[in-house]
């Protein structure tokens, strides 16, 4: 095992890894010049230029949890030099039925050459994340505080739950789950839209030690079946239907199809708990299998609103969340209970400068990691009031978000660059017709935000007075890794800035050598952090191969990163075969596999291409079976095949007909060339003479606009 338990690193080790904060000591606490950068103070002027440096206002910093570069530097240095002490102090603010061994706060091995990769935090400590997120808030006198507001698809549809009411609902469902045989360690698939029942279901599973696996209710039946087969759940929780805008989506039908498919693959699920979503579909119109299907409203409400807590070890599993891999098979990312709890709560608190009076809205769905960490667990662990939104941000028009902000007096608004770009394209009048005076912190998640979108978000949505927490993190990391702390230091539009406490980012070259100073390369993380995932479910070998073998001794993020002369980090996107579409990671192999399942598709190669709204779009080169002519109908049929097998969010934006694909003599597809053709960067194709058939490139260029 590697070093652990708060042992002091070797002399010079911490200093070597703290160089990114050395530049911070040069940052002035107020407006001024640094490296020729224009200084802008929050609330005083617009961010207009590429090289703006935007300072928090003195008023904001004065009340911020971290109010200066000096305070951040002191806290960060402590978190690196004494991780056991730093994180133990924070962990002790939560309730633990049994304390962890103080000499074994953390233990790790990230180096595959030294044995199996293993990460442990607070092992031996007994706790429960549901208890800490709900009961603890009630016991501290906040039972009547609103835990969750709910805003429905249609304006005027709304609801709310206090912390006491939330606990009652969670306990009733937990008791039902126990009554049908769900216990500690059992998997439960949750396939629900953004109803309050979704976080309730997550918390109910956590309360009894069951392992929830939320599947985004936009995934197809095939994708859902894959996940059912992999984790073998005791039951599936869904609802009959949901409306997104004007469109009804029949979720129960999708589940029915998935359960048939999973049974063909040897996994039979005998129970489907179905919530009746009356606003989308009548009960009598729902297809039903009486021996398997049960209405939530008919059974759950009959159970007691008190349920004993199952105390679990810090390293017991909390949830599985499947994410796309480059091989086509989804990866079951497994997060455990104690470290994840401590890390998500802490990142939420500091990255949003959380205050008890805040009304917090994250637009993410709980089907993604953001909805786990920053809709459900992180906010509730801080006793926050959270807004859950069922609908879409442009229905009934593009002013819906700001209507909601004004309705609930939202103070912290956390969303994706895709949404920012989409609303930006629709025009500022949808924003400016609303007051938005309650907003004080904005946030961005899912992909790098380009500087022009950052400035629009800052200038228009935030009236040039709200700092933006532009967060970089991943499903695998559990919580924020590189993020601004709103009152602590100046921001640069588009930069995630500096690492969170306990996180040691390094930029390495192809050989795995760390690069110092101003540079670009592969982003890796040195040493573990409490929120790190522990394995890929049932496939620890893939866990090691994907994340730890590329650069021994480091966690490899799969992302490229640049660091500027001031130490700020700039994420440049994926460097592997994964496309980031609207913040959703989609494996190219997954889309290719769906395309070639079409009877008229012989071969397919998929690449990411820049997209004005989504960040990246899916660009598919398709070779048809001999003799099959190109047609618009076939193009639509291929796209529909992907929609049906994976989901609408994975549908290709462009089908490019390809008589052949550029391959080496050994048969490897040269995706570098395909990316250049897709981006119309034809003067950057490079040497094509080594291809088995160089003429293919000219054919593809000729067919670019077909």
Residues catalogued as catalytic: 576
Q: Which two three-digit tokens encode residue 625?
A: 């079976």
> Are the CB atoms for 228 and 189 separated by under 8 Å?
yes
Cis before residue 396, ω within 30 degrees of 0?
A: yes
Buried b (16+ CB within 10 A) or exposed e, 329-339: bbbbbbbbbbb
Q: Nearest Cα to 54, choosing from 471, 468, 412, 569?
A: 468
Distance separating alpha carbons of residues 523 and 108, to the nearest angstrom: 20
Strand order in the sheet with 187-191: 293-295, 272-275, 235-239, 187-191, 211-214, 317-323, 331-336, 535-536
Q: Which tokens hold the place of 655?
A: 């089908």
Interhelix angle 83-91/338-351, rounded to 10 degrees, is 90
Residues 6+ apart with CB under 8 A from 426: 394, 398
Map tokens 């991943």 to a residue. Answer: 474
What percent helix, strand, coil does the chain show, rounded to 5? Answer: 35, 25, 45
Distance, in Å, from the CA atom of 73 to the CA atom of 495, rounded to the nearest integer, reads: 19
Alpha carbon dihedral 228, 233, 235, 241, in 10-degree steps, equals -30
- The answer to whether residues 521 and 561 touch, using CB atoms and an 8 Å cutoff, is yes
Any bridge partners for residue 563, and if so which? Answer: 519, 569
Q: DSSP letters of 375-405?
A: IIIHHHHTT-EEEEE-S-TTSSSTTHHHHHH
Nearest to 204 by CA among 253, 166, 149: 166
CA 527-529-535 angle, to 5 degrees, is 90
Contacts of 513 (CB under 8 A, 6+ apart): none
DSSP H helical ranges for 433-586? 451-456, 540-547
Question: What is residue 295's three-state secondary structure?
Answer: strand
Q: Which of 427, 362, 400 is nearest to 244 (CA)?
A: 400
Angle CA 613–194–180, to nearest 5: 140
Q: How far from chain centre, in Å, is Cα 166?
A: 24
């Amino acid at each position: 095992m590697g070093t652990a338990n708060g042992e002091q690193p070797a002399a010079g080790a911490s200093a070597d890894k703290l160089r990114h904060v050395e530049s911070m000591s040069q940052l002035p606490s107020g407006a001024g010049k640094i490296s020729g950068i224009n200084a802008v103070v929050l609330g005083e002027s617009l961010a207009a230029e590429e090289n703006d440096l935007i300072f928090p206002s003195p008023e904001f910093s004065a009340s911020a949890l971290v109010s200066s570069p000096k305070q951040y530097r002191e806290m960060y240095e402590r978190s690196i030099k004494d991780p056991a002490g730093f994180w133990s102090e924070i962990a002790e603010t939560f309730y633990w039925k049994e304390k962890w061994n103080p000499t074994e706060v953390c233990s790790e091995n990230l180096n595959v050459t030294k044995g199996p990769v293993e990460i442990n935090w607070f092992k031996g400590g007994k706790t429960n994340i549901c208890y800490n997120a709900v009961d603890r808030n009630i016991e501290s006198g906040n039972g009547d505080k609103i835990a969750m507001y709910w805003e429905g698809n249609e304006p005027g549809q709304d609801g709310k739950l206090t912390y006491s009411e939330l606990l009652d609902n969670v306990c009733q469902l937990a008791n039902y789950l126990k009554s049908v045989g769900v216990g500690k360690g059992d998997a439960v698939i949750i396939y629900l839209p953004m109803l309050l029942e979704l976080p309730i279901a997550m918390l109910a599973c956590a309360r009894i030690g069951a392992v929830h696996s939320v599947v985004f209710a936009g995934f197809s039946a095939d994708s859902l079946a894959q996940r059912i087969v992999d984790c073998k759940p005791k039951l599936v929780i869904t609802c009959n239907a949901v409306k997104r805008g004007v469109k009804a989506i029949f979720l129960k039908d999708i589940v029915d199809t998935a359960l048939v498919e999973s049974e063909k693959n040897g996994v039979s699920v005998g129970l489907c708990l179905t919530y009746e979503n009356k606003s989308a579909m009548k009960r009598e119109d729902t297809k039903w299998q009486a021996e398997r299907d049960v209405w939530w409203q008919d059974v759950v409400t009959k159970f007691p609103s008190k349920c004993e807590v199952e105390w679990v070890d810090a390293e017991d599993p909390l949830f599985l969340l499947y994410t796309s891999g480059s091989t086509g098979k989804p990866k079951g990312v497994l997060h455990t209970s104690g470290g994840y709890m401590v890390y998500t709560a802490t990142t939420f608190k500091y990255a949003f400068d959380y205050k008890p009076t805040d009304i917090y809205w994250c637009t993410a769905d709980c089907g993604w990691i953001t909805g786990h960490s920053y809709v459900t667990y992180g906010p509730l662990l801080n006793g926050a009031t959270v807004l859950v939104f069922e609908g879409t941000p442009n229905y009934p028009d593009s002013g819906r978000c700001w209507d909601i902000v004004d309705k609930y007096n939202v103070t912290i608004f956390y969303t994706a660059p895709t949404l920012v770009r989409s609303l930006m394209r629709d025009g500022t009048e949808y924003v400016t017709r609303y007051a938005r005076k309650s907003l004080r912190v904005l946030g961005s998640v899912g992909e790098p935000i380009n500087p022009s979108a950052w400035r629009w978000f800052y200038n228009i949505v935030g009236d040039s007075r709200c700092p933006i927490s532009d967060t970089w993190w991943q499903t695998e990391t559990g919580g924020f890794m590189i993020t601004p702390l709103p009152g602590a230091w100046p921001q640069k539009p588009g930069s995630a800035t500096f690492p969170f406490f306990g996180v040691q980012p390094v930029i390495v070259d192809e050989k795995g050598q760390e690069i110092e100073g101003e540079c670009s390369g592969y982003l890796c993380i040195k040493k573990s952090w409490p929120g790190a995932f522990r394995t890929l479910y049932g496939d620890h070998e893939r866990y090691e191969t994907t994340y730890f073998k590329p650069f021994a001794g480091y966690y490899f993020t799969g992302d490229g990163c640049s660091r500027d002369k001031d130490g700020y980090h700039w994420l440049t996107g994926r460097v592997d075969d994964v496309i980031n579409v609207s913040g959703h990671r989609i494996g190219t192999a997954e889309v290719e596999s769906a395309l070639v399942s079409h009877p008229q598709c012989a071969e397919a190669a998929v690449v990411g291409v820049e997209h004005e709204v989504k960040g990246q779009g899916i660009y598919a080169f398709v070779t048809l079976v001999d003799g099959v002519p190109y047609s618009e109908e076939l193009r639509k049929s291929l796209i529909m095949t992907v929609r049906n097998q994976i989901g609408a969010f994975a549908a290709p934006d462009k089908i490019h007909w390809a008589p052949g694909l550029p391959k080496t003599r050994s048969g490897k597809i040269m995706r570098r060339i395909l990316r250049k053709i897709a981006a119309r960067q034809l003067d950057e194709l490079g040497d094509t003479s080594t291809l088995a058939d160089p003429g293919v490139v000219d054919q593809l260029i000729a067919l670019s606009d077909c």
